[in-house]
A and B are shown apart, each in its own frame.
Chain A
Amino acid sequence: MNSELPSIIESLIFTAESALPVDRLCELLGEFERDQIKLALAELVAHYQERAGGFDLVEVAGGWQFRTRPVFHGYITRHIKTRMSKFSQSALETLAIIAYRQPITRAEVEHLRGVDCGGVLKTLLEKHLVRILGKKDIPGRPLIYGTSKEFLEVFGLKDLKSLPTLKEIQALDAVPQYERQEELQLEPDKVIQVENQLPLE
């Protein structure tokens, strides 16, 4: 294998404006095999992890990107103004429902939350975290919503499958008709972290 390949990929990702997908890398580096490229990427990732510096090479929204480590955000924000504010509980709930249940209509979101979601939905649309996927083929043709690429980027997710997951709904006899989402395991440390703050038995 070309020993320069990791460096070539590194330079491409470094100069890319947004996360660089593997497909794009393969397209740009036609002289290399896809497997070689993936191997070199893995090598790079390992390199940055080992180095444990100010940033990492991470996969977000289907592409590769350099991102700073969260621990240093206090220093970074000394010279970079952040525009992002914390999300409200209703925004997060609505986002979670849309993320797990997409494609979903506003009525379905509201049924799950038991509350009007027009305002929250509008804000999420304006922040480009949620997008309109189309119209549902039922009477009234309601709009259907899904999460956007920006959602993955902001929350640092590789893809929708890497969302931390819901626990199995055990005691339920009826599964809603739009329940089709594949269930994934939560990362163990995350479960603990969250359950500490939750009113759960």
Chain B
Amino acid sequence: MTAEAHHHREEHLPLLDGFHEQYSVHLDKFDGPMDLLLHLIKKNELDICDISIAVITRQYLEFIKLMKELNLEVAGDFLVMAATLLQIKSRQLLPRDDQEEPEEEEADPRAELVRRLLEYQQYKEAGMVIGARALLGREVFARTESEPILKAAQNVEGPLEVSLFELVDAFRVLLQRIPVESFHDVAPGDSLSIADCINEILSLLQEQDTVQFDELVRDELTRERVIVTFLAILELCRLKLIRIFQGSEFGQIWFVPAVAKDSAEVDLP
């Protein structure tokens, strides 16, 4: 620690002491600069439409300073708001230049901020209202919900179709399993092409009705292999040659031919 930093720290020590009792509880409570501003306005018992920018700005900046003292990462959003507050204050202080701009729009430099605050408050409130509702799976249960026997039966009967989102997720899980490569292969040997991979998957589907996601990459669990396989599957899906299923939530992903076995032979580019 440099001498300067040390000095800086000492200077604020008394402040820090108070911080722990006064502010630490609130720290994670604020959901952003708007939330903090609303809190300050309420704390100072100010009218949201007629806030004292000087008071609010001072307390706002103090808060940011305290966050820094605690080595908390001050999000950029908080700094943007600080700049906005300072800008409003400076505009309030400057005499109005009537000659140059006789425009009457925004006679009060606070107007835009007030509008945003009111708007934000509204949505914060709306969020609380919907959050107070009885939620399905928490307070309310539907008859078909959480029926283990039915769910199990469903898995046997027929798989669910998966969204692209889930497919990407499955790949992410797979990628995480790949051991970290410790060296860089400067000149890769025989690289696998997507077309090869497509053919491989198709021939596999000739032999068996369904192919598991894992099966495709089991023998050669490398990043390249997984990515090429992924692209091949997306391509096959686009060509409508296969369908992708998932047996259950977070379960294995399966592929089946989209057409009958015999007609699966299609010329690939």
- A interface, CB within 8 angstroms of B: 14, 16-19, 55, 60, 65-70, 73, 76, 80-87, 89-90, 92-97, 99-100, 112-116, 125-126, 153-156, 163-167, 169, 171-174, 176, 186, 190, 193-194, 197-201
Interface string of B54-92 (1 = CB under 8 A from A): 000000000000000000000101001100000000000
CB distance A198 to B136 under 8 Å? no
Say if the beta carbon of B183 comes within 8 Å of chain A: no
Interface string of B103-125 (1 = CB under 8 A from A): 00000000100111011111111
The CA-CA distance from A66 to B145 in the complex, in Å, is 10
Q: Please indicate the chain B residues that have their CB under 8 angstroms from the CB of A197 in the complex.
A: 128
Q: Please indicate the chain A residues that have their CB under 8 angstroms from the CB of B42 in the complex.
A: 199
Say if the beta carbon of B146 comes within 8 Å of chain A: yes
CB distance A164 to B140 under 8 Å? no
CB of A174 to closest CB in B, whole Å: 6
Say if the beta carbon of B138 comes within 8 Å of chain A: yes
CB of B26 to closest CB in A, whole Å: 13
Nearest 3 interchain pairs by C-beta: A115-B32, A92-B127, A199-B42
Which residue in B49, B136, B146, B165 is a CB contact (below 8 Å) of A80? B146
CB distance B33 to A114 under 8 Å? yes
On chain B, the number of residues with a Cβ less than 8 Å from chain A's Cβ atoms is: 49
The CA-CA distance from A66 to B140 in the complex, in Å, is 10
Count A-B contacts at CB 8 Å.
Answer: 158
Q: Please indicate the chain A residues that have their CB under 8 angstroms from the CB of B41 in the complex.
A: 199
- Tell me the dominant secondary structure on chain B's binding face: helix
Which residue in B33, B115, B126, B139 is a CB contact (below 8 Å) of A166? B126
Which residue in A154, A163, A171 is a CB contact (below 8 Å) of B137? A154
- B interface, CB within 8 angstroms of A: 31-35, 38-39, 41-42, 47-49, 75, 77, 80-81, 111, 114-116, 118-144, 146, 165
The CA-CA distance from A156 to B141 in the complex, in Å, is 10
Known: A94-B127, A113-B120, A199-B38. 20 other contacts (CB 8 A): A17-B144, A65-B143, A69-B140, A70-B140, A73-B139, A82-B137, A89-B127, A92-B127, A93-B124, A93-B127, A99-B126, A99-B130, A113-B123, A114-B33, A115-B75, A154-B136, A156-B140, A167-B122, A173-B111, A198-B125
